[in-house]
Every structure is written in C-alpha cells, then in structure tokens.
C-alpha cells in the first residue's frame, strides 16, 4: 500500500506537473496572442496614421486647387466683362460721328418739315440705341474742367465765371460706365 500511495502521489505530482505545464503553455500561448495582437494593433495604427497623413495632404491639395479654380473663374469673368466693355466702347466710338451728323442734319433749316422731322426721329432712335448699350453724355457747361473727361480747345477770361469753369461745349463727350468713349471738347474760362 505504501507503494500504491507513493505511486498515487507520483501520479498526482505528474498530473499537477502536467496541469502546471498546460497552464504555463496556455499562458505562453495567450501571451503570444496578446503580443501578436499588440503588433497587429501597432501595425494598424501606423498604417492608419500614414493613411490619415495622406488623406490630409490630398484634402489640402483639393482645397487649394478648388480655391485656385474659383479665382480663375472670377478672373475670367472680369476679363470677359472688360473685353465686352472695350468692344462696346470701340463700336460706339465709331458710331458717334454718325450720331453727330444726324443731329446736325436734324437742326439744319429746310423747307421740308417732314423730312427734318424724319431725320430728328432717326437721330433720336440712334441715340436711344446707343444709350441702351450704356452710353452716357458727359456733363460740361457749368462744370469744373476735368482732363479725364474734357479736352480744352480754347481758353477765355471772364470774371463772372469760376476758375476753370466750362463755358461752352464745342463737341459732346460720352462715356460708358467709367470709361470715356470720347472726350468733350470745351472752352474753359479763367
């Protein structure tokens, strides 16, 4: 019985040892799994960090390109408007002598009143057509001489008038917006 007891003890110790080995092996396996998970998590975090940096860089490039495109559209629109204004001013400048001649023809004395009324009507229609393009007359008589809008063709001394006051208009001047199409020819006092 002693042998059996010792053998039972040995078997128990073996079982305990086997259980301990199993526990150790399981702990080692779990530790390996945890380490593998940590490594995988570190790799995932590194990749995520790289992807986030790449995303931020692409997002920044996109925003810059979008802003550049918006600026390009605004510049193009301004250029189109500027070109339209310049072309309109150039075409109107060519037509102004025609309008001047129609107005002179309408104010010339003639025996045929219906003919004169017809010329005045055509001149008025022509003036209205140019006005629809934005053409405006430059104010002259009674205004102070401004070289941006007026061209002095003569100078007189008149104490009853102010300094550089326009006393007479020789030829009408016109502008479209702030752009002068034709300067007014004027006579300036003092």
Residue 149 sits in a domain whose CATH number is 2.30.22.10
* Full domain range(s) for residue 106: 52-133
Which of residues 2 and 104 earns the better pLDDT score? Answer: 104
User: For the chain, what percent of residues have pLDDT higher than 90?
Assistant: 62
Residue 25 lies in a domain: no
Give the distance from CA 177 to its chain's centroid.
21
Do the beta carbons of residue 158 and residue 190 sit within 8 Å?
yes
pLDDT at 4: 66
Residue 101 lies in a domain: yes
Average pLDDT (56-63) is: 96
pLDDT at 84: 86
Least confident of 34-43, 99-108, 113-122, 156-165: 34-43
Among 184, 176, 170, 172, smallest CA distance to 90 is for: 176
The count of structural domains within the chain is 2
Among 82, 64, 59, smallest CA distance to 176 is for: 82
pLDDT at 161: 86
Single residue among 133, 156, 179 that ends a domain in this structure:
133
Residue 46 lies in a domain: no
Residue 23 lies in a domain: no
Residue 29 lies in a domain: no
Do the beta carbons of residue 138 and residue 172 sit within 8 Å?
yes
Residue 64 lies in a domain: yes
Beta strands 174-176; 135-137: pairing state? antiparallel
User: For the chain, what percent of residues have pLDDT higher than 70?
Assistant: 98
116 and 78 in a common domain:
yes
pLDDT at 148: 94
Single residue among 133, 152, 173 that ends a domain in this structure:
133
124 and 62 in a common domain:
yes
Average pLDDT (17-23) is: 80
pLDDT at 166: 94
107 and 60 in a common domain:
yes
62 and 114 in a common domain:
yes
Residue 157 lies in a domain: yes
Given pLDDT bands bounded at 50, 70 and 90, which one contains residue 167?
Answer: very high
120 and 140 in a common domain:
no
């Amino acid at each position: 019985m002693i042998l059996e007891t010792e053998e039972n003890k040995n078997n128990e110790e073996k079982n305990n040892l086997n259980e301990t080995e199993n526990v150790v092996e399981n702990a080692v396996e779990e530790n390996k799994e945890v380490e593998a998970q940590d490594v995988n998590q570190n790799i995932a975090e590194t990749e995520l960090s790289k992807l986030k940096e790449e995303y931020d860089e692409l997002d920044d490039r996109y925003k810059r390109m979008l802003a550049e495109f918006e600026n390009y559209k605004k510049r193009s629109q301004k250029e189109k408007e500027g070109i339209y204004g310049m072309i309109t001013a150039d075409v109107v400048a060519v037509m102004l002598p025609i309008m001047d001649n129609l107005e002179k023809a309408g104010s010339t004395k003639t025996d045929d009143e219906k003919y004169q009324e017809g010329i005045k009507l055509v001149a008025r229609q022509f003036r209205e057509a140019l006005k629809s393009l934005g053409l405006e007359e430059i104010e002259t008589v009674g205004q102070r001489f401004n070289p941006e809008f007026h061209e002095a063709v003569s100078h007189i001394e008149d104490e009853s008038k102010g300094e550089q006051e326009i006393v007479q208009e020789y030829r009408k001047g016109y502008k479209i917006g702030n752009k002068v199409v034709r300067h007014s020819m004027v006579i300036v006092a003092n």
